[in-house]
Amino acid sequence: MGREIKFCLVYRDMWQSSGKYVPRVDQLSKVAGPIIDMGCFSRVETNGGGFEQINLLFGENPNRAVREWTQPFNDEGIQTQMLERGLNGIRMSPVPADVRQLMFKVKKLQGTDISRSFDGLNNPQNLENSFLFAKAGGMIAQAALSLTFSPVHTVDYYIDLADQYIAIGAEEICIKDMAGIGRPVSIGKIVKGIKERHPNVLVQYHGHSTPGFSVASALEAARAGVDIIDVGMEPLSWGTGHADLLTIHAMLKDAGFSVPDINMKAYMQVRALTQEFMDDFLGYYINPRNRYMNSLLIGPGLPGGMMGSLMSDLENNLKGLNKWLSKRDQPTITQDELLIKLFDEVQYVWPRLGYPPLVTPFSQYVKNMSLMNVLQMIKGKERWSMIDENTWGMIMGRSGKLLGRIDREIVDMAKAQKREFFTGKPQDLYPDELELFATKMDEKSWSYGQDNEELLEYAMHPKQYEDYKSGKAKERFLEDLEKRKADKLGTTSVPVAIPSSPAAPATFQPKSLIVDVNGEQYKVSVSYDGETAAPTSTDLAAPVTTTAAPSAPVGVFHEIISPLEGKFYLTQNAGEQAVEVGQQVKEGETIAYIESMKVINAITADKSGTVVEIIARHGEEIEEDSVIMRLE
């Protein structure tokens, strides 16, 4: 009998690599027993990554989900593992050290045994705390090598990186082939190199099947000495997910390895339950294209875990783009055409941004930058004309040093905008915040929860947690789900009732209009029977009171237009001063922000002038090509 190889079911990742959401806690609890009955898993990936944000988005308590979902596996002695993003914890942006430390303590108490920690730039500085905090909290500290394929990411680079991780506290190593583009032979060499230097360190292979290499990669990893292989299962295996358990099992058995038997009756039960969850609501958030392998992704190397959100983003941006083209009597484009343009642009952008490994959050930054370039160039604008703030942070070293060189054109842009490169320790940029969030919870009379888990949730995901507590998240989710169901059936959706303001008038009657006369715009007041014309007022839910000037001069105005759709903000943080009516702004000056595709985009004035009216509302959704504010 050959060497034993164990299996880990990545049930959490199966869902997030396919679509937007994961099953509810009642569904997860329902499927846990049959997964255990399959009898072939030594580990199950239960949480981490976007798991908790996703629960918050559909209005569920993620802490309850983690506890109830992990408990059956804890009882059976099957290890549970989570995915955490180093400096970013379990969100998309950097997390203060005290919040990160609490996270590991809480997750262990909730039932998670292993922390698979990765850094998007493979920066050891950002993972040292992860290993330290994980072990202090009682978890196994596993370090993930974010695998990618480029001139600077060589076999020797990854073997040396494993040395560095082990030296600063990693107890296990994961080969994280998040896009499935690692070449099988190279993966075998990496595993062999690590095992030769560290024979007693457990090595686990995780590979998405997106472009089709993962089965061969799993075999090469097994031959080179890997101990555990991550697998998916139908109906969510393959495509942007992972190779199916049955295929990997049969392949390894034929190759002479010792693998555990599979209870096929239980396998079919898990398969049926997974399909049941898809039929319930999850299938409405899975793009059919994500269920197919796509060799075109060998070039751009985009990760499977991002493809679910990518197709959703692409759908939304395509609508906005075609609307823009139609208004200008230009031919519209198809989703396939936009997708190919995006893939081509990723291959152009990626090396010029320093070859960041295409893993969360940097895969999103590269994808978003590429998509923005495509959209801007279709509209006749220049490449790089809009770089979001998150991407700038990566470029300027706020997450650590990039392995490749930044293109000179981008460096010159940074200097022109007076941006400074950061060379220190990234964690130092983000001071402790637990006390701040504890104070906020005290003010709201909110409980910290068992083992301070609710405090952790609030500090980790402030906006999403507040929306969950207020019920807004559940309301939005149900409204969106009803719309998707109606669209699929070809019927009209029944809108979710949203209480209106008691002060709201029965009929909207504008107090002013912008009138175009022979190409020139004039602002005119409007009065109705029995009332006197009143000056325009824009009631903004912003950090400061912002209204149109009562004596706004009548004349020609310049409109600043939204370059993309998303959520509009006048400020990015509490310490920033919002632009106000009457304020002078200069061309190129940041006047607002739009959150789109999980990143913050700074909106700059394309002309100097005085702000006479702010149209967009702070915190509300805004459409592409709509007016943000007017300048005189």
pLDDT at res. 490: 73
Q: Place 38 in a pLDDT band, splitting at 50, 70 and 90.
A: very high
Q: Place 548 in a pLDDT band, splitting at 50, 70 and 90.
A: very low
Please check whether residue 430 is in contact with residue 94, taking contact to mean a CB–CB distance below 8 angstroms: yes
pLDDT at res. 512: 47
β partners of residue 613 = 630
Question: Helices 184-197 and 214-224 meet at what angle, rounded to 10?
Answer: 20
Q: Place 501 in a pLDDT band, splitting at 50, 70 and 90.
A: very low
Rounded Cα gap, residues 69 and 587, in angstroms? 53
Q: How many CA atoms lie within 13 A of 500 on its CB side?
A: 6
Q: Place 305 in a pLDDT band, splitting at 50, 70 and 90.
A: low
* Average pLDDT value for residue range 614-623: 84
pLDDT at res. 307: 66
Closest CA to 146 of 371, 305, 7: 305
Rounded Cα gap, residues 506 and 269, in angstroms? 54
Contacts of 195 (CB under 8 A, 6+ apart): 201, 203, 224, 225
Question: From start to end of 193-239, where are the E strands?
Answer: 202-207, 228-231
* Average pLDDT value for residue range 586-614: 83
**Pairing verdict, β 599-604 and 590-596:** antiparallel
SS (H, E, C) 50-70: CHHHHHHHCCCCHHHHHHHHH
* Average pLDDT value for residue range 595-610: 80
Block residue for tokens 């379990």: 90
pLDDT at res. 93: 86
pLDDT surpasses 50 at 368: yes
Please report the domains of the chain, with CATH numbers, ordered by start residue. Answer: 6-286 (3.20.20.70), 295-429 (no CATH), 512-631 (2.40.50.100)
Amino acid (1-letter code) at residue 402: L
Q: Place 352 in a pLDDT band, splitting at 50, 70 and 90.
A: very high
Contacts of 578 (CB under 8 A, 6+ apart): 542, 543, 544, 546, 570, 571, 618
Rounded Cα gap, residues 455 and 453, in angstroms? 5
Amino acid (1-letter code) at residue 112: T
pLDDT surpasses 90 at 499: no
Judged on CB neighbours under 10 Å (0-12, 13-18, 19+), 266 is: middle
Q: Place 264 in a pLDDT band, splitting at 50, 70 and 90.
A: very high
pLDDT at res. 540: 33
Please check whether residue 233 is in contact with residue 272, taking contact to mean a CB–CB distance below 8 angstroms: no
Rounded Cα gap, residues 460 and 469, in angstroms? 14
> For residue 524, what are its two tokens?
């005119």
Distances (CA, A) of 198 to 206, 245, 373, 504: 19, 28, 44, 69
Q: Please write the tens of the pLDDT for every residue from 232-247.
A: 999 999 988 999 999 9
Q: Please write the tens of the pLDDT for every residue from 135-158.
A: 999 999 999 999 988 899 999 999
Which phi and psi angles does 514 have, rounded to 5°? -100, 120
Collapsing DSSP to helix, strand or coil, 193 comes out as helix
pLDDT at res. 617: 84
Q: Place 550 in a pLDDT band, splitting at 50, 70 and 90.
A: very low
Please check whether residue 394 is in contact with residue 353, taking contact to mean a CB–CB distance below 8 angstroms: yes
Longest Cα–Cα distance in the chain: 94
Q: pTM for this structure?
A: 0.78
Percent of all residues in the chain with a pLDDT value above 90, rounded to a whole number:
60
pLDDT surpasses 70 at 55: yes
